[in-house]
Structure formats: structure tokens, C-alpha cells
Amino acid sequence: MFLIFIDELVDLLANLGITVKAFADDFKLYIRIINEVDVTVLQEALNFLFTWSEKWQLSSIDKCRVLYLRLAEPAVSFSLGTVNLHSVSSCRDLSVTVTSDLSPSVHTRHCCQSSPTIKCHTPLLSV
């Protein structure tokens, strides 16, 4: 039954021009922001998501973050309801750490620190 609700939400957000990745009750919303119209579209999608989640009592705003995949953060903030979403430089997604510059170094470091069987060494460079 839950999947029916989720599929409906994914379809409705896709109609707004938002790419959605869903896994169980976890959602990632993507849009390429080129101009103010794209910012407005994303905020409208977030408003829709907020209304939908309140209706079905599935709200977890404290888990929501914004990750910009670029070098510099634009001077734009997004919200769910009355709560401004925090912007982060990295986040974990299905046990993979994704950074704003898509560098694997944070994820690799985390794997090395959390696994006693993996040994990580800093390569020595000589000039």
C-alpha cells in the first residue's frame, strides 16, 4: 500500500519537472538550476511535497537537507513549510557519502576509518 502512495508522489513531482529518486521512504529531488524559474519550480515542488507529507502524516523535516552539486553555493534558500532547509557540503545516501564537488575522498576516508580490514595509505609524492 505504501508503494502506491510513493509512486503517486513521484509521478506528481515529475510532472512539475523534478527528477525524483526514491528508495523506501527516502526521497532525493533533483533539478538543474539555471535561472530563477528553476528556483521557483523547486520551491513549488518542495511546497507540494510538504503538503503531501502532512496529509499522509509522513513528515520528517529534521532529516531534510540541501546539497548543491557545484563549486559555489548560490544565494538561494529553500524551505519545507515554515522551516528553512539547511545547506550541507556532504551527505550520506545509502551508505555512500556524496560531496558537493562529487569527490570520493570523504567517502573513502570514512570507509577506511570504519573498517578494520581496509588499510588506507596516503601516497607519497616526490618532486
> How far does CA 46 lie from the centroid of its chain?
12
Q: How far is CA 60 from CA 31, 50, 92, 123, in A?
A: 21, 10, 16, 42
- Rounded percentage of the chain residues whose pLDDT exceeds 70: 76
Q: Work out whether strand 65-67 and strand 86-88 pair parallel, antiparallel, or are unpaired.
A: parallel
Alpha helices in 1-127 (DSSP H): 2-15, 36-55, 105-114
* Cα gap 95→100, rounded to integer Å: 16
Q: 66 and 42 in contact (C-beta within 8 Å)? A: no
pTM of model > 0.85: no
Summarize pLDDT for 83-123 with one digit per residue, the tens: 999 888 888 877 777 777 777 766 567 667 676 665 555 55
Residue 127 grid cell? 618532486
Q: Return the ∠ at Cα 11 (arms to 13 and 75), rounded to 5°.
A: 15
